[in-house]
Amino acid sequence: MDRVRTLKLTLAYDGSRFVGWQRQATGDSVQGLLERALTAIEGAPVAVHGAGRTDAGVHALGQVASAQLAASHDTGTLLRALNAQLPYDVRVLTVEDAAPDFHARFSARRKTYRYLLRNAPFAHAFERAFVWHVAETLRVEPMQTAAALLRGTHDFAAFRSAGSDVSTTIRTIGRSAMFEAEGWPLLGGAAAGRLIVFEVEGDGFLRHMVRALVGTLVEVGRGSRPPESMAALLRAGTRGEAGPTAPAHGLYLVAVDYD
């Protein structure tokens, strides 16, 4: 019998047309497509586990998945075979042999997410599925002040959507930064308008947590709430007092870190 090995796969995808990472009863999921491709290689069903269950419309630059299979192909051959079978909006970036007990979700120690806001009178046609367009001018400095208050260990219950099943809403955020980026390479720099970026890294995230944080930060940028309200929201833990959930298509899973 062939030895079963554990693989660590890093992949990127445009989440626009998917029902999300997790397989669903109907519609294409990234997990389902990856399992189908690995099953074709293995000749038997293969289960795939992802580091984060990105929602419909959310993109990934560095999603990590794990799977076990007995196929003896080297990692380079597996990489080419997977990308040959997957649609072009899903690309496997690396395939690595991992320790037998490696699990993409449970072995993860930190994740980094990025959210893109196009703050301009209009968003370019070619970026409409990749940024949240906010036409009203946002003040970045108050947003930076509010984002900094998220660092540390806090109860993020005020930024959790209903339907999540977790034992605790306490999370530790190591990086929380809001900044302006230089244009958009495809569209030609400043002509495309302001690109505001929120980047957050932490030991875990609640359902829709990053999008709820962004929705609240945008309210700060509009002047409809003070930056200091972030600290009050962390203390109160009431979802209804925080801002709206930002659209999914501006969110990216950037990286997953392991020990």
Catalytic residue (choose from 2, 14, 28, 55)? 55
Known catalytic residue at 165: no
What is the SS3 assignment for the chain? CCCCEEEEEEEEECHHHCCECCCCCCCCCHHHHHHHHHHHHHCCCCCEEECCCCECCCEEEEEEEEEEECCCCCHHHHHHHHHHHCCCCEEEEEEEEECCCCCCCCCEEEEEEEEEEEECCCCCHHHCCCCEEECCCCCHHHHHHHHHCCCEEEECHHHCCCCCCCCCCEEEEEEEEEEEECCCCCCCHHHHCEEEEEEEEECCCCCCHHHHHHHHHHHHHHCCCCCCHHHHHHHHCCHHHCCCCCCHHHEEEEEEEEC
Q: Which residues are catalytic?
A: 55
